[in-house]
Amino acid sequence: MVSVPALPFPFPLRVDEAALLVIDMQRDFVEPGGFGESLGNDVRPLQAIIPVIADLLALFRQQGLPVIHTRECHRPDLTDCPKAKRNRGDPPLRIGDDGPMGRLLIAGEHGAGIVDALAPIAGETMIDKPGKGAFHATPLGDELVAHRITQLVVAGVTTEVCVQSTIREANDRGFECLLVTDATESYFPAFKQATIDMLTAQGAIGGWATSSGELMEVIR
């Protein structure tokens, strides 16, 4: 066990039981023309964390530590996309509609893929999820148990939606989560900070938070 400087107190990292979980770094959320921009969001803040996540990936790969990626996407027939999700709000484009990178958030479409700089390599786990949290209707929990993973180092987007949902799901299942603050982002800066504050409150009620620099120094 090694100690990682973190909020609200140092995180007891068990390197042999930890995995890097990179959430939804997809073109549809991060690049112009995707689902995120179709909702009226500026995607540039999300693009800014790509180099940080790339550094984390490089370190975990160098150390031979497990890496898991997730993609929020749906079947082409949308049978796993509830109407309440698809019809929410009044966006110009909805899940499944045609966009510049193919049908929005549909498995197999270009936009649903991971950005090139963070593309998975052989041996890394990919989880396609129909919901916000990475455990809902996916094999993630079984994968973690099978590989004796008890701790998740979490990066990705967006902080207050898919990242937070996944951390809370993980917490309920007994996994310890360390959120890397400069490797996660939101379209709304205040939402990111509020999420970090909520997760780390009351003695890490949801999880811990640290910077990539602090984490990588300890792992190295």
Q: Residues with catalytic annotation?
A: 24, 129, 162
Exposure class string for 118-155: b at 16+ Cβ within 10 A, else e: bebeeebbebbbbbbbbbeebebeeebeeeebebbbbb
Give yes or no for a contact between 35 and 99, defined as CB atoms under 8 angstroms apart.
yes
Exposure class string for 189-215: b at 16+ Cβ within 10 A, else e: eeebeebbeebbeeebebbbbbbbebb
- 51 vs 32: CA distance, rounded Å: 18
Residue-wise DSSP of 114-130: BPGGG---TT-EEEEES
